[in-house]
Structure formats: C-alpha cells, structure tokens
Structure 1
Amino acid sequence: MSKNLATLIGLSAILQWSAIVGLLKRISFSIGADYAVTFMYSISAIILLLLFRIPNLKAIPKKYLFFATALFVVYELCFSYAIALAQTPQQAIEISLVNYLWPSLTVAALILFKELKFNIFVVLGLAVSLSGIVLIQTGNGAFSSTAVLNNILANPVSYFLAFLGASLWALYCVITRKYSNGHNPIAFFFVVITVVLWAKMYFLHGIPALPTIQAETAICMLMVSFVTALGYAAWNIGIIKGNITLLVTLSYFSPLVSSVFSMLILQTSLAPSFWHGAILVTVGSFICWISTNWPHLKEKIRHAQ
C-alpha cells in the first residue's frame, strides 16, 4: 500500500468519526440513550473482531493494558452518553464541541508528564479553545457568566461527561504514547465496553426487553456502528503507513467537519455564534499543536526555501 493511499484512508477516519454525533443522537431519540449506546458498541465490537480479532494480550505490558483499557472504556462511555443524553439536536452538537478540547488538553497533559517542555503558547491555545466553548454558550447575546452557567445547568450531566471524556482521552493519548510499545488492542477495548454496557443494563433493569426498532433507526444504527469501527481501523492504517503529520494537522479541523455533518444529519440550524466558537476551538487546538512542533516545522520551512 502506498503512503498516499494510506494517508487518504486515514483521512476517511476523520470524516467517518464526524458522523457519529448526528447518527447517535438520531438513534437515541428513537430508542433511548441506553439502547442506542449499547447497540452501537456491540455492533462495532463485532466488526472490529472480524477485522482485527483479539490480540495476544500476553505480549502487551500489563500496566498499560489495565490503565489504557479503563481510560478508553470510560472515555467512550462519557462521550457517547454525553451525546445520547443531550436534550435537543443543537445541544448535542454544542456538547460535542466540548469533547474537542482533547487536543489542547493532550498537549497540557504531555507537559505535565514532562514529555514536552512548557510553552506559553500552549496556555494561549487552551485559552482560545475555552473561549470558543464560552462563546457557544452565550448564544447570540453579549457575554454573561450567568447565561453561560444557566445554559450548562440546563443539562449538567452531558456537559460534565463531555469535559471528563475530553480529559480522559488526553490522558489515554499520553499513556499510549509512553507505555503501549506499539500495541493497539482496539478490538479488546470494544469487547470490554460491550460487556460493561450489557452488564449495566442487566443489573439495573434485569433482562432487558428489546425495543421495537424502525427501519430508519436500524439503518442509522448500522451506519454509526460501521463509522465507529471502520474509523478506528482506517485511522490505524493512516498513522502506521501514511503521513502522520498531515493527518494530525487535518484532525484539528474535526470540530468544524463534525458540526457540519451533525447539522445535516439532525436537520437543524446553528447560530453564527456557534460557528465562531467552533472556529476558536479549532484555532486553539492548532496553536497548541504548532507551539509544540515549531522547531520541527521551522526546520522543514528552512529546508524548503
């Protein structure tokens, strides 16, 4: 497989993941948050098992396997339930933007773990990203801390889960970079998530009575499962065999791409302030990335001249 083809496949992962928010919200409107999340991960786990199978767990460092599995599972649950529990389509899209704080938080975590040197521009990037979230919460009116707080308190669980998920994913990225030794037990992670979800369903509700699923909901369910599973598969190909620098750079535009996909799938409109906020989240993440890669970028620019 050529490097360019692998890069294109990796790019498809960004597009596939961008459809998750809208599709998952449509399913949860129809059959509820619990069933939507459980079915999505169950079908995704089957797809990933067919693609990758369960890896040789004995070859993976035990501490990494334990902590990475816990972080991955809790992150995925936080993200999916944050979206599924959103009260309106617009709120689901707004909450998804909170999740996209993870690139900036990852850079901050790398500094805390002494993987990167402190850079004042990282603080600037974090501030810009957070200001984007605040701007979205103010709507079209002037800034008001009361308005921001009231908007979050309208559905505090979803906003808390989204922010917690972004923080956990940042920590997961750091741990994977430091301790994975190149292993990627993604199929195992999804099997664990599926077991946890069905166990939760059983202990809270007993043997569940499966809901009636309309044809449209079933199609959305299959679509969201495929884009979730194949997105991870495509991303792995991209970062292993493609141009990882280009992929990482393009991934910072995910908030904007995801918002467009979600708006179309959920058939809703978004205020100008939302797009301004989404741009700030993207720019803030990009500033963090540039600040930590500037020496390498400067060297490339010098050689190009």
Structure 2
Amino acid sequence: MSKNLATLIGFSAILQWSSIVGLLKKISFTLGPDLSVLFMYSFSAVILLLLFRIPNLKQVPRNYLFFATILFVVYELCFSYAIALAQTAQQAIEISLVNYLWPSLTIAALILFKELKFNFFVIIGLAISLSGIVLIQTGNESFNWATVFANVQINPISYILAFLGASLWALYCVITRKYSQGHNPIAFFFLVISFVLWLKMLVFHGIPEIPHIDLNTGILMLMVSTVTALGYAAWNIGIIKGNITILVTLSYFSPIFSSLISMFILQTNLSLSFWHGAILVTVGSLICWISTSWPQIKTKLQLLKSAH
C-alpha cells in the first residue's frame, strides 16, 4: 500500500468520525446511554472481525499491545459516555468540541516523546484552542469564569470524560506511530472494549432487557456501528502507513465537520458564538502544527514556487 493511499484512507476516518456524535446521541435518546454504547461497540466489533479478523497477537510488540489496549479502551469509554450522557443535543455537540482538543494535545505529546522540537507557538495554539471552548461556554455574554464553571457544573461528568478522552487519544496516536511496528490490532481492541462493556452491564445491571427497537433506530445503530468500526480501522492504517502530519492537519477541521453533521442529524441550531469557538479550536490546532512543521512547510512552498 502506497503512503498516499494510506493517507487518503486515514482521511476517510475523519469524515466518518464526524457523524458519530449526532448518531450516538440520537440513539441514546431512545435506548439510554448504557445500551447505546454497549450495542454500538458490540456491533462494531462484529464488523471488524468479519473484515479483518484478529491478528496474530504474538507478532505484536507486547508492551505496545498492553498500553495501547488500555489507552484505546479507556478513551472509547470516556468519549462515548461523554456524548451519551449529554443532557441535550446542543450539549452533546459542545462536549464533542472538548474531545477535539486532541490534535493540539497530539502535537504536545509528540514534543514530550521528542518526535518534534518544542516551539513557543505550541503554547499559543493550545491557549487559542482552549479559549474556543471557553467562548462556547460563555456564549454571547462577557467573559466570566463563574459562567464557565456554572455551565460545566450542569453536567461535569461529560466534560471531564471528554477532556480525559482527548488527552488519552493524543497519547494513543503517538504510541501507535512510535511502537506498533506496523501492526494494526484494531479488531482485538474492539473485542476488549465490548467485553468490558458487557461485564459492566452484567455486574451493575444484570442481564439487560432488550427494548423494542423500531426500524429507524435500528438503521441508526447500524450506521453508527459501521462508521465507528471502519473509521478506526482507517485511522490506524493512516497513522501507521500514511503521513501522520497531514492527517493531524486535516483532523484540525473535524470540529467544524462534526458540528455541521451533528447539527443536521440532531436537527438543532447552534449560536454564532458556538461557531466562533469551533473556529478558535481549529485555528489553535493549526498554529500548533505550523509552529512545529514550519521548516518542512517552507521547503515545500519554495518547491511549489520554483515549479511554477
């Protein structure tokens, strides 16, 4: 597989992920958070097993398999429950933007792992991304920390889970790139998270009563399971065999893609201050990337200029 094809496959994951928030939240309105998350990952695991099967785990570096499995499972639990536990459609979209701090955090993680050189503009980029989240919480009012905390306290669990998830996913991306040695045990990851969710359900709730699922909910469940499974499979291919710098750059526009698609699926309107905040999250992430990749960007711009 060529590097360009792997990068394109990775980009398709970004588009697929953009629909997860709206689909999962719509299903959770009908089935509740626990069953929605349980069914989504169970069906996704089946799809991945049919497509990829479980790889020979003996060939996967042991340390990578252990730590990546933990990071992936905990991230997925954080992200999915952050969305499913949101109290309203708009809150689900707002919380999803907290999760989209991960591109900026990925750059920070790459610096910590000495994959990139430190640049002061990374701090500026992170600050701008965070200011976007703060702007969304304050709305059209003047900035006030009390307002921010008041909005977060309405549903603190979802916001905390979203931020923790963003941090863990950034770490997962760096570890996968650095230590996976080209292996892609994504089907195994989904089997583990499905097992954890079923165990949690049995321990805390007993055998679940399957509610009546109408045709519309069934179609939505199939859709969210498919884009979840194929999205993560595509992303792992992209970050292992493609250009991770380009993929991280393209992922910076995920907040806007996701908000647009979620707004359509959930049939809700978003304020102008929300879009300003989403743009700030994106711009901050772009600044992080440009500041750490400027020599390569400058070289490519010079090559393009000389070609013309």
Same fold (TM over 0.5): yes
Which stretch of the first structure deviates more once superposed, 143-152 or 204-213?
Answer: 204-213
Residue 158 of structure 2 corresponds to residue 158 of structure 1: yes
- C-alpha distance 8-183 of structure 1, shift in aligned 2 (>3 A): closer
- SS of aligned partner of 1:81: helix
Residues 217-254 of structure 1 show CA distances to partners (whole Å, capped at 9, x for unaligned) of 11110000011112223334555666655443222101
- Letter of the structure 2 residue corresponding to residue 233 of structure 1: A
| SS of residue paired to 1:212 | coil
User: Residue 94 of structure 2 corresponds to which residue in structure 1?
Assistant: 94
Q: Which residue of 2 aligns with 1:79?
A: 79
**Deviation string, structure 1 residues 93-116 (Cα, Å, up to 9, x no partner):** 000000000111111122222222
What are structure 2's unaligned runs of at least 5 residues?
Answer: none
Q: Mind listing any 5+ residue stretches in structure 1 that lack a counterpart?
A: none
**SS at the partner of 1:264?**
helix
Q: Cα deviations across residues 259-285 of structure 1 (Å, max 9, x unaligned)?
A: 000000000000000000000000111
Give 1:14 deviation, angstroms: 1.6
Relative to the length of structure 1, the TM-score reads 0.95
Q: What is the letter of the counterpart of residue 234 of structure 1?
A: A
Aligned partner letter, 1:59 = Q
Range 233-242 or range 265-274, more displaced: 233-242
Query: Is residue 2:52 matched to residue 1:52?
Result: yes
Does the CA contact (< 8 Å) of 2:182 and 2:241 recur in 1?
A: no
- The aligned counterpart of 2:108 is 108
Equivalent residues, number: 305
Q: Distance in 2 between matches of 1:176 and 1:36?
A: 28
Partner of 1:188: 188
Q: 1:242 to 1:112 in 2, by over 3 A?
A: closer
**Given that residues 182 and 240 in structure 2 are in contact (C-alpha distance below 8 angstroms), is that contact kept between their aligned partners in structure 1?**
no
1:146-192, CA deviations, whole angstroms, 9 ceiling, x for partnerless residues? 11000000000000000000011111122222211111111100000
Q: 1:244 to 1:128 in 2, by over 3 A?
A: same
Say whether residues 1:286 and 2:286 are aligned partners.
yes
> Closer, same or farther in 2 for the Cα pair 1:263/1:200, shift >3 Å?
same
Return the TM-score normalized by structure 2: 0.94
Where does residue 137 of structure 2 map in the other structure?
137
- Asked whether the equivalents of residues 184 and 237 of structure 2 are also in contact (C-alpha less than 8 Å), the reply is no
**Cα distance change on mapping 1:74 and 1:25 into 2, 3 Å:** same
